């Protein structure tokens, strides 16, 4: 024994009865200790058996659970196989299904089209407007005894106006209304054909601006001429605080003649101060043998550019007036993007996706102070405020 063991035995000799755990003497008879060992020998195997039994029970439970999961997985796989088999079609079956779907879709579309045709015919709509309804992704133009279809181009600037916000008021005046507020301007355009005009009454009827015809170029000989009512109309409108713009009916054959027209306009504007644009009126002439009969789209477009650039150089706002035929058949709009547009279309809703500032919506308007029919316009800009 070593020194440490000695001291441990010495300490044990000094321990009294009941000082050990369980209140037993440290020194007990040998027979008693043997008997206790035998009891412990019996208990230990029993305890180990119980542990083994519990472990076995746990293993059996896990085996049962695992088997159940395997069966569920097998059932799911079997179901998926059945579904896969059910969804498998031969090439002939696929073709048959596709043809059936196409036939059903075609029949549905045919019924929709026939319904539209019937409704429009019952309402007295003509072929022209029917085609517009059937081809919403294109602009349809009737000209020269035929129909033209123009795809709506994303490359051109589109206006942001909402069609349902153009509303006709109780006086049959078209207005653009946003959140209950009228944001458009009421205007007219006049020439000698409106005869004598009482501009004080015109102003009293709420007209805020007027485009006054300054002059024309003759359709056959090509002579420049001032509108006979130009000066009187200019003076009458300005005297009654109506904002004014002017327009010129062009028949220029080339850029040189277009600049000549612009110079003619500028010369006759010297005595007046206008706030609205100077407009080039581009329309088809239906008289016999007009001088512009053989003019190409490219030539006419270049003439428009020449006129507008000369007007802009002089410090005015240039604008181009026209209808669907003008902008789609007669001019190349991609080259005219930077100029203001005045669009003529006598029907609602609006049928023009591209950017414009003024809409001439009727040629049969009624205004106090004017005895004849007059063109009415709704302007989305107020150049009178310097916009």
The pLDDT score that the predictor gives to residue 219 is 95
Q: What are residue 263's phi and psi, to 5 degrees?
A: -65, -40
pLDDT in tens, 369-385: 999 999 999 999 999 87
Q: Which residues contact 180 (CB under 8 A, 6 or more apart)?
A: none
Could you tell me the pTM of the whole model?
A: 0.71
Of 98-102, 141-145, 195-199, where does mean pLDDT reach its minimum?
Answer: 98-102
Q: Name the helix (H) or strand (E) containing 92.
A: helix 91-122
Higher confidence at residue 64 or residue 367? 367
Compute CA distances 329 → 141, 177, 345, whole Å. Answer: 8, 32, 15
- Angle among Cα 112, 116, 120 to the nearest 5 degrees reads 170
User: Does position 266 have pLDDT exceeding 70, yes or no?
Assistant: yes
**What percentage of the chain carries pLDDT values higher than 70?**
71
The pLDDT score that the predictor gives to residue 38 is 53
Higher confidence at residue 189 or residue 43? 189
pLDDT in tens, 74-89: 554 444 444 444 445 5
Mean pLDDT of the chain: 82
Q: Name the helix (H) or strand (E) containing 58.
A: helix 30-86
In the chain, DSSP assigns E strands to 138-143, 146-151, 166-168, 174-178, 181-182, 185-190, 209-217, 224-226, 243-249, 278-281, 318-322, 340-344, 358-365, 374-379
* Residue pointed to by tokens 């026939």: 114
| Mean pLDDT, range 225-238, rounded to an integer | 98
Computed over its alpha carbons, how large is the radius of gyration of the chain? 48
| Mean pLDDT, range 81-104, rounded to an integer | 59
Q: What are residue 370's phi and psi, to 5 degrees?
A: -125, 120
């Amino acid at each position: 024994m070593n020194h440490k063991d000695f001291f441990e035995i010495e300490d044990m000799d000094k321990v009294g009865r009941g000082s050990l755990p369980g209140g037993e003497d440290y020194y007990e008879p040998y027979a008693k200790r043997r008997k206790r060992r035998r009891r412990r020998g019996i208990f230990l195997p029993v305890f180990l058996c119980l542990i083994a039994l519990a472990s076995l029970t746990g293993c059996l439970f896990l085996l049962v659970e695992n088997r159940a999961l395997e069966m569920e997985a097998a059932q799911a796989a079997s179901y998926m196989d059945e579904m896969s088999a059910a969804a498998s079609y031969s090439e002939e079956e696929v073709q048959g299904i596709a043809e059936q779907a196409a036939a059903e879709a075609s029949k549905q579309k045919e019924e929709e089209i026939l319904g539209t045709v019937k409704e429009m015919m019952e309402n007295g709509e003509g072929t022209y407007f029917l085609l517009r309804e059937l081809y919403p992704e294109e602009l349809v133009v009737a000209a020269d005894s035929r129909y033209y279809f123009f795809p709506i181009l994303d490359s051109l600037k589109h206006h942001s106006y909402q069609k349902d916000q153009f509303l006709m008021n109780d006086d049959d005046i078209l207005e653009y209304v946003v959140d209950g507020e009228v944001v458009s301007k009421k205007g007219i355009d006049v020439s000698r054909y409106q005869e004598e005009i009482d501009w004080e009454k015109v102003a009293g009827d709420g007209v805020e601006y007027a485009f006054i015809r300054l002059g024309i170029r003759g359709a056959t000989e090509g002579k420049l001429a001032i509108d006979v009512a130009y000066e009187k109309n200019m003076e009458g409108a300005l005297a009654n605080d109506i904002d004014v713009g002017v327009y010129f009916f062009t028949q220029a054959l080339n850029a040189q003649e277009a600049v000549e027209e612009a110079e003619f306009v500028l010369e006759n504007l010297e005595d007046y101060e206008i706030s609205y644009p100077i407009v080039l009126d581009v329309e088809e002439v239906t008289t016999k043998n007009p001088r512009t009969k053989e003019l190409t789209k490219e030539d006419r477009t270049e003439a428009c550019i020449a006129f507008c650039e000369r007007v802009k150089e002089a410090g005015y706002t240039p604008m181009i007036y026209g209808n669907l035929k003008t902008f789609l058949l007669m001019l190349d709009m991609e080259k005219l993007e930077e100029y203001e547009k005045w669009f003529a279309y006598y029907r609602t809703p609006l049928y023009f996706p591209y950017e414009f500032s003024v809409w001439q919506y009727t040629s049969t308007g009624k205004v106090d102070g004017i005895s004849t029919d007059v063109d009415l316009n709704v302007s989305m800009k107020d150049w009178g405020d310097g916009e």
